[in-house]
Structure 1
Amino acid sequence: MWLHASILKIYSIQCVCIWICLVLSQYTKADPLLNTDDTEIVPAKHCQLESAIIAPSHAETTYQFNTACQSIEGIETSLGYSDFLNSNEGHWSAQLKSVIRPMNGWGVAASLKLSGQQSEINQKDNIEWFLNIPFGLDFLNNNFHLYSNVGYQYASEQVHLLRWSVASNLVLSPRTDISLESYNQDRHAPFEQSALHYSLIPNILTFEASVGQRLDTFRERWFGFGLSFTP
């Protein structure tokens, strides 16, 4: 019964996401499964939608939803929310992002994110903030991209945490590309992740799937999937 209810909840969420993305597809460009941020922002007066479902082996399945818009020229604002499917515990975030140098061979951006988590046990949000500097490089006529992030995170449990991430993206064919990523989120061993992006409808609808794990243990593994749309 529990498994059946979880599957129905996941199916319902994905159906809602598909409907929203179809409505906004001319404005949407998503890559929801990677943690490494790129150096670009959404076009002026446009918005994008990101959504994904991640099932880790060591924790509950989570659903992630994020929207980003450039309502103010040169500044991207985004709101995100992630929810544990089997409990009433959620995580919210709000971010401002701006481009320092537009991507032309290489590019730099900066972002500031505020986030918090609330559960039934602890009704008070634990606010943390994260200042991030994304850097990007293009190679092979834009068929290979390399991104790196360096940032500073302040949280009540992890003061003065220096966060980093590195990701690469390689175009294999007009329909298929892959991404490899390594990053840290705490003071323990970093994570690694690989993602596959397959275009179901060229330049419109893309299916994404990823697998990953923490580097020092085989017990912290996960997989994720989602849909993304490009203009």
Structure 2
Amino acid sequence: MLHSLIVMLKISLFIVAFAILPSAWAARPMVTDDARLTDAQACQTESWMHLGRQRNELWSLPACNPGGNFELTVGGALARTSGQMDSGALVVQGKTLFRPLTTNNYGMGLAAGYTTAPGNGQSGATYFYIPTSLSLADDRIFLHTNLGAIRSREDRETRLIWGIGSEIQTTERLYAIAESYGQDKGSAFVQLGLRYWIVPNHIQVDTTWGSQLGHIRDERWLSIGLRLITPPFF
């Protein structure tokens, strides 16, 4: 009986924790993923608005790490193009680490999943990538790289996906980020941004500006995000 009550309490806390959160691959605001996981036995939600010239998107990606070395993310987005609602997006991803990231050292892992893009007529795709991270200057600087592949369900075409990014701590709570990412076909994307811990390791806000090389004016966007991390409760 006591065990059942404890299990029910944990489930209730989980529901409450995410009921109060507003509607990753990577830790916001980066697209390039890092070799880190959500805190062991805890959950987080990354939510953000992606504001473009033609389409606005509202994303929410809840993730949990119940066992310590496996993070499961299930979430998606709502999209609005030229004032009209589009079909949303779906993301389901699992991630684990081969080598945890430590201070002044490197970490490496593996992520794989299924995703659909926002917008009408978009097909789904399966993907995987290897995130690698390097810590420098006692964790004041991080460098991240991603390398993997994505396969479209509709045209059955496999493409290389890549990313390279950096985080630089500018104050005790403020970080600057810069990254570039893309596929082996088409122009690369670039993004610059800031993240700030309102409550260290629990509440973070962020903002970015980004675009696609060769289409800076037409493809530019702004994002504003919120990241919430629960205490361990599994």
Same fold per superposition (TM over 0.5):
yes
The aligned amino acid for 1:106 is Y
The aligned amino acid for 1:93 is V
Partner of 1:5: none
Report the Cα offset of residue 229 of structure 1. Answer: 3.4
Report the Cα offset of residue 162 of structure 1. Answer: 0.2
Relative to structure 1, the CA distance from residue 175 to residue 42 in structure 2 (aligned partners, 3 Å threshold; closer, same or farther) is closer
Q: Is 1:212–1:222's contact at 8 Å kept on the other side of the alignment?
A: yes
Partner of 2:116: 116
Q: Is 2:181–2:188's contact at 8 Å kept on the other side of the alignment?
A: yes
Q: Work out the CA distance in 1 between the residues paired with 2:222 and 2:65.
A: 31
Q: Is 1:158–1:186's contact at 8 Å kept on the other side of the alignment?
A: no
Alignment of 1:69-88 (within 5 A): 69-85=64-80, 86-88=84-86
Alignment of 1:135-150 (within 5 A): 135-150=132-147
Q: Work out the CA distance in 2 between the residues paired with 1:220 and 1:71.
A: 38
Report the Cα offset of residue 222 of structure 1. Answer: 0.3
Partner of 1:128: 125
Q: Work out the percentage of aligned pairs sharing the same amino acid.
A: 24
Helix, strand or coil: the match of 2:194?
Answer: strand
Helix, strand or coil: the match of 1:181?
Answer: strand
Relative to structure 1, the CA distance from residue 176 to residue 109 in structure 2 (aligned partners, 3 Å threshold; closer, same or farther) is same
Partner of 1:68: 63
Helix, strand or coil: the match of 1:197?
Answer: strand
TM, length-normalised to structure 2: 0.78
| Structure 1 portions without partners, runs of 5+ | 1-16, 22-29
Render the CA deviation track for 1:55-75: whole Å, top value 9, x for unaligned.
112x31001110111234522
Residue correspondences, number:
203
Alignment of 1:1-231 (within 5 A): 19-20=20-21, 31-57=27-53, 59-85=54-80, 86-104=84-102, 105-116=105-116, 126-155=123-152, 156-157=154-155, 159-185=157-183, 187-218=185-216, 219-229=218-228
Helix, strand or coil: the match of 1:36?
Answer: coil
Relative to structure 1, the CA distance from residue 178 to residue 73 in structure 2 (aligned partners, 3 Å threshold; closer, same or farther) is closer
Q: Is 2:39–2:68's contact at 8 Å kept on the other side of the alignment?
A: no
Q: Is 2:29–2:195's contact at 8 Å kept on the other side of the alignment?
A: no
Report the Cα offset of residue 83 of structure 1. Answer: 1.0
Report the Cα offset of residue 106 of structure 1. Answer: 0.1
Report the Cα offset of residue 118 of structure 1. Answer: 7.8
TM, length-normalised to structure 1: 0.79
Relative to structure 1, the CA distance from residue 157 to residue 227 in structure 2 (aligned partners, 3 Å threshold; closer, same or farther) is same
Q: Is 2:134–2:142's contact at 8 Å kept on the other side of the alignment?
A: yes
The aligned amino acid for 1:143 is R
Q: Is 2:79–2:118's contact at 8 Å kept on the other side of the alignment?
A: no
| Structure 2 portions without partners, runs of 5+ | 1-17
